[in-house]
Structure 1
Amino acid sequence: MSQFRSPILNLPPVVKNLIIINVLMLLGSMIIGGSFGFDFDNLLALHFPASEYFKPHQFITHMFMHGGIGHLFFNMFALFMFGRVLEEVWGPKRFLLYYMVTGLGAAALHTFVGWLDYSSMKAAANAFANTPTPDLMLQFIREHMGAVQPWVTDFVNSWAENPSNSYDIQKATAMVNRMVIENINVPTVGASGAVFGILLAFGMLFPNTELMLLFPPIPIKAKYFVIGYGIIELFMGVQHSSGDNVAHFAHLGGMLFGFILIKYWQKNSKRFY
């Protein structure tokens, strides 16, 4: 008599424990944070080094934090689908090493790109402070903040009627400086960087395996799926105006560091594992 065993119970140890930890972290942030007002994001989410909330441990802890149930589900579903295959091929130690390297690599690239954006934003803010004008303020917001809110447009139009008004100049300068601070205090959470590294590895190890897309519902080989996803992420990452609150360069970082690590293993071994 055969016994049915759920795929969840048959998960390899690293994938199973990663899923458990991520679920517990989300529940903890929702229950403890909601009930006692404890701010998990400021403590555990990844902040830019220029932020007052930055701590070195966040490079690791942010990988186990998520922005909600949907965010957690899609990351853990991908880990469940593809991560278990890789762990069975590589073994627990190598898979965990790969997961952590891609996650940290994702955070490193995300932080580097964020530093470039912050440097550009800070320089623009300093330029505005030296020569504050309504046009420069609108230019600053469009280039670094995306869409201009109606109330900001109303303020700028009112200021334009008397550009030398000292009160409006002080208010505009304070607004621009606050935008810079708020920008560097935006936290980053999620295992997406490591998950994209896993997708990259699956595509490299099993390039001709057919995956069934949901939208549209057509089969596609893993190698084309990974290449297409990478191109989309690069395009979205360059488009700062997308405003989708997704760390696209973190995803690319996970894929990039995963590619480098796999190539290193290939060079020093006759096989991937």
Structure 2
Amino acid sequence: MNIYLIAIIVANVLFSIKGFSDIAFFRKYEFHMGSIRAGEQVRMVSSAFLHADWAHLFFNMFTLYMFATVVIDNLGNFSFLLIYMGSLICGSLLTMVFHKDEYGYRAVGASGAVTGILYAAILLNPDMSLYLYFIPIPIPAYIFGIGYLLYSIYGMKAKNDNIGHTAHFGGAIGGYVITLIKEPQMLTENTLMVILLAIPIILLFILEKAGKI
């Protein structure tokens, strides 16, 4: 496994485990709108290394593991790190935009960064399929990616957990844009996939403008 991928997974696991057992640590570094607006911008990055529970941590790290190699093999280590961190920051920035007046808003998770890697991998390898243990047939990766973001819309509307669902979209936008900047030929060589992956992102902004989120 790539050393940079290992380092990111280890950082997420160690930071999250500390947060599971130390509520003061968790509260100090989670995404909390009031604290960030008071000047604690470090939370915009640190919150992406915390997770709500073991299932949340496992799902994010498993998704990262499944898709990161595609990005690394196609674009190299630097671009992988650029997309991961760029998507992380985009996720936090979009969360700031959507929840700027909700001073009590809290969220954690690497979902924004991971979704950025997911979107980058699908753009780079549109024919990729996934084998999920509870579904006996291969699932096209783009179906998984689109479904992931549609589920995130539900999570944003429900607001019944501490997971940063808004960050999923910010991360997707980050991974989508950075990958297309680095590989602009995809706009003509892979036009259909570029359009398909844009659909849930566009839907999000339509719903937000309509006041549905």
CA deviation map 1:192-237 (0-9, x unaligned): 1111111111111111112123444332222232233333333543
Q: Which moved more, 1:87-96 or 1:46-55?
A: 46-55
Aligned partner letter, 1:201: A
Distance between the aligned counterparts of 1:256 and 1:87, measured in 2? 19
Residues 57, 245 of structure 1: alpha-carbon distance in 2 compared, 3 angstrom cutoff = closer
CA shift for structure 1 position 51: 6.4
Alpha-carbon distance in structure 1 between the residues aligned to 2:26 and 2:179: 32
* Cα deviation code 1:18-56 (max 9, x no counterpart): 11111111232345x2xxxx6112221111146687611
Task: Map 1:1-273 to 2 at 5 A.
Answer: 11-31=1-21, 33=22, 39-49=24-34, 55-115=40-100, 118=102, 184-237=103-156, 240-241=157-158, 243-267=160-184
User: What amino acid maps onto 1:231 in structure 2?
Assistant: L
Q: Which residue does the alignment assign to 1:164?
A: none
- Distance in 2, matches of 1:187 and 1:53, equals 14
Give the conservation status (yes or no) of the 8 Å contact 1:51–1:185.
no
Question: What TM-score, normalized by structure 1, do the two folds share?
Answer: 0.61
How many angstroms apart in 1 are the aligned matches of 2:56 and 2:38? 23
- Structure 2 regions of 5+ residues with no counterpart? 190-213
Which one scores higher on RCO, CA 8 angstroms, separation ≥ 6?
A: 1
Given that 1:52 and 1:185 are in contact with CA atoms closer than 8 Å, whether structure 2 keeps it comes out as no
- Secondary structure in structure 1 of the residue aligned to 2:109: coil
Verify the 8 A CA contact 2:108 2:163 in the aligned structure 1. Answer: no
Kindly tell me: are residues 186 and 236 of structure 1, through their superposed partners in 2, closer, same or farther at Cα, counting changes over 3 Å? closer
CA distance in structure 1 between the partners assigned to 2:114 and 2:36 by the alignment? 26
> d(CA) in 1 for partners of 2:183 and 2:153?
26
Structure 1: unaligned runs, 5 residues or longer = 1-10, 119-183
- SS of residue paired to 2:130: strand
CA displacement at 1:255 relative to structure 2:
0.6
- Bigger radius of gyration: 1
Map Cα deviations across residues 39-82 of structure 1 (whole Å, 9 max, x no partner).
Answer: 11222111114668761111111111112222111111111121
Question: What TM-score comes out, normalization by structure 2 length?
Answer: 0.77
Give identity over the alignment, percent.
Answer: 32
- CA gap of 1:24–1:200, structure 2 versus 1, over 3 A, is same
- C-alpha distance in structure 2 between counterparts of 1:192 and 1:218, whole Å: 25
Shift of 1:186: 4.0
Residues 47 and 53, structure 1, Cα contact 8 Å, conserved in 2 = no
